[in-house]
Chain A
């Protein structure tokens, strides 16, 4: 506790020290840094991201460049194709890294979409309360019990495989949990004195939600967000695996895994490298999510 009141600083009193307060996020950050598994996961994830976005510039091949004399050749460290080539004679390393760009982007963008919808919806429902709240949450309940995966598949089949549609479809599926979490948080926050003060001061509801409620729900939201990213990446690869994801010549890990699975009896490398990248990425994202949850969890203190 910092004592700033000058009246207390009489003779003999402890001289007021300037102590920097420890914020929630600062505390959480320190705890996260002590979690070795999470730190290792962050480093590995950064390496994967770096490889996917910088790597293709260093590999002397193009994404759709075909080598007619090197079709389905195994990984060859001397010959230049480090991960081998695929059934069309394209360099697998550059395809894996490029596919990673798509998968990671889908993960980020679709999570952002679901985050935006979910947070706004949940905070509004929770803040308004009453009938508006029950109607809004009832809608979430109904949507919740739909077999959503089937709708996403239908969307992809019928409206063509469009990368924007993938973002929207996945984001639209994943916002429900977020809305529930944020609503729950909002319900407890809105009874706090500072909200009452804001209301008494004549702040409009929109501003209260934006300036006071949403920032205070960020803890659980961040935790949930980090766990959504791997889910979304998984969903995209699931769609791509079924042949409903991104289209040639673009590629993603799901597409590559699907091609690899079809050819695995003759060329294992086509399956193992993309699957390995996907697994390592999901693995580290999950560890980071768990780490952040532990770091923010008050039970652990």
Chain B
């Protein structure tokens, strides 16, 4: 398993290189630069600025220089947030984004599997239809619609929760819920489908026939197997939550990485944008690896070769 993990990490290197290269050249091919402001700067100052950030060098040289920097864990200075390095900005935003995304994921897995299992055990009952109908709504209604609607009802009309900001748990509740709802819906549907299939399988019939309590049959035997697809969905779910948090952070004014990304892209803050993309690339790759390893632990049929 260690060799497998090592090989996967090695395989991630070309991927990261592709990410870095595409972003680097995409940004520099684009019209407009980081220092195009409302007023045009004197040519002298513009030259000095370009020289200070090595923007006057030929592109290949800039590329190699940047690559060398990144290898040392340095994403360079931000072009727009003066006096901050990109690394500092990322580390200031990451705990917030992690708290938001992590809570949403946790919520999604716990509530999603519970609802899905519940619906599967009462297949074709009113409860089943209710849960699956709600899940369909959760999938069809995007989180950038759910978020304002929740704010409108719970925040503005009922006045129960604050509509923006970050820090207290009341402020966390709405964004986390908005981010988690589509994932809850997906996971519930998935759990239900695999649970129904498992409940019809031979080993569950055996477990029931030998007189195991229903609770043990379901929790120890059926649910464990039904969780496998959910585990393998965690990879795509992370990517979805990260993408979703870009919007959610924008809507609720949460100071996370997603907001830096959108602001950075609009401001042509080259280094900040590249830093965020690479950071998220690494995050997604590492998380996918962890998911695959966990899958191997849960399912003895999986062999690493």
Contacts and interface: CB of A to CB of B under 8 A. Distances in A.
Interface string B138-165: 0111101101110110001000000000
A260 interface: yes
A278 B262 CA distance: 24
Given A145-B288, A260-B148, A278-B145, A150 B280 contact: yes
Contacts of B147: 261
B15 A242 contact: no
A211 to B, nearest CB: 35
Contacts of B14: 142
B144 A257 contact: yes
B244 to A, nearest CB: 9
A234 interface: yes
B262 A158 contact: no
B41 interface: no
B110 interface: no
Interface residues of B, number: 47
Interface string B218-254: 0000000000000000000001001100110011000
B154 to A, nearest CB: 13
A114 B56 CA distance: 39
B270 to A, nearest CB: 11
A61 interface: no
Nearest to A142: B15
Given A230-B140, A257-B144, A283-B137, A147 B280 contact: yes
B242 A147 contact: yes
A260 B151 CA distance: 13
Contacts of B27: 154, 158
Please report whether the interface of chain A is mostly helix, strand, loop or mixed according to DSSP. helix
Contact of B142 (A149, A154, A234): A234
A197 B154 CA distance: 66
A271 interface: yes
Interface in B59-94: none
A154 B23 CA distance: 8
Contact of A158 (B32, B140, B288): B32
B6 interface: no
Interface in A239-297: 241-242, 257-258, 260-261, 264-265, 268, 271, 275, 278-279, 282-283, 286-287
Interface string B7-36: 000001011001100110011011110000
Contacts of A261: 144, 147-148, 251
Nearest to B163: A265
B261 A145 contact: no
B141 A279 contact: yes
B136 A283 contact: yes
B281 interface: yes
Contacts of A260: 148
A126 B147 CA distance: 43
Please report whether the interface of chain B is mostly helix, strand, loop or mixed according to DSSP. helix
B265 A154 contact: yes
A146 B26 contact: no
B136 A287 contact: yes
Contacts of A146: 15, 18-19, 22, 281
In which size bucket is the chain A interface?
35 or more
A264 B148 CA distance: 8
Nearest to B141: A279
A33 interface: no
A101 interface: no
A238 B258 CA distance: 14
B1 to A, nearest CB: 20
Contacts of A157: 30, 265-266
Contact of B247 (A151, A241, A279): A241
B218 to A, nearest CB: 24
A12 to B, nearest CB: 47
Given A147-B284, A154-B273, A282 B144 contact: no
B137 A158 contact: no
Interface in A43-89: none
A185 interface: no
B265 A153 contact: yes
A150 B15 CA distance: 15
A237 interface: yes
Interface string B151-192: 110001000000000000000000000000000000000000
18 contacts: A146-B281, A147-B242, A154-B23, A154-B273, A158-B29, A159-B31, A230-B140, A242-B246, A242-B262, A257-B145, A261-B251, A271-B148, A271-B152, A282-B139, A283-B137, A286-B136, A286-B139, A287-B136
